[in-house]
Structure 1
Amino acid sequence: MKASKVLYKPFGMALGAAGGALAGAVFRKVWKAIGHDDEAPGATDQERGWREIVLAAALQGAIFAAVKAVVDRSGATTVKRLTGSWPA
């Protein structure tokens, strides 16, 4: 196994946790701005309609995927810079 891959495992896990927290914060800010509510609806929220629930879930998924891609790519690039080889 390449040294860069071994180095990347714990680094990637830490980045993933930080990225998840960042994505959650970004989603809450975006939802507050467009949803005009402090909390996004859950799938079983009886007071909210299908449209709002599906929109919130799709937006949350898109934000989490985008943040994960940025965090993963940044982490891999940093490992490449430090070790000279790509961690994949």
Structure 2
Amino acid sequence: MSGDRAKVEAQGSKAARILYKPWGIVGSIVSALIARQVFQAVWTKVVPVDSDDPPKPLESEYSLKEVVGTALIQGAIFAVVKALFQRGSARAFQRWTGEWPGD
């Protein structure tokens, strides 16, 4: 990334950050829904057919390894989808308003 581009992205007025807040909240909800769908799709491909839902921490029939592995996969998917969505929405906001909404 060039230095000028990073500087432009780093700049943002207080008004832009305030205007972006509702957009960011809605984006977080939408990205969580998308991440959930992506995780379910990945889960159905990775796990045997007899298991519909991922193991939950309080379900005793699953080992700690299975629960932690599932949490790692789910967390990684959620983090990536959220980062992609936030970055894309910030760029769209910048195109529409001319200001970067971040710090």
TM-score interval w.r.t. the shorter chain?
over 0.9
Q: Match for residue 76 of structure 1? A: 90
Residue 74 of structure 2 is aligned to residue 85 of structure 1: no
Q: Match for residue 59 of structure 2? A: 45
**Structure 2 stretches lacking a partner, 5+ long:** 1-12
Q: How many residues align?
A: 88
Q: CA deviation at 1:25?
A: 0.9
Secondary structure of 2:89's partner? helix
Per-residue CA deviations over 1:34-87 (Å, capped at 9, x if unaligned) read 022210000111111111111100000000000010011011101110111100
Could you list the runs of 4 or more consecutive aligned residues of structure 1 that deviate by over 4 angstroms after TM superposition? Answer: none
Q: Please give the TM-score of this superposition, normalised by the length of structure 1.
A: 0.93
Structure 1: distance between partners of 2:42 and 2:18: 36
Q: Indicate the RMSD between aligned Cα atoms, in angstroms.
A: 1.1
**Structure 1 stretches lacking a partner, 5+ long:** none
Residue 33 of structure 2 is aligned to residue 10 of structure 1: no
Q: Match for residue 34 of structure 1? A: 46
Structure 2: distance between partners of 1:80 and 1:30: 33
Q: CA deviation at 1:17?
A: 0.3
Secondary structure of 1:48's partner? coil
Structure 2: distance between partners of 1:86 and 1:2: 10
Secondary structure of 2:20's partner? helix
Alpha carbons 1:28, 1:38 under 8 Å: kept: no
Alpha carbons 1:41, 1:56 under 8 Å: kept: yes
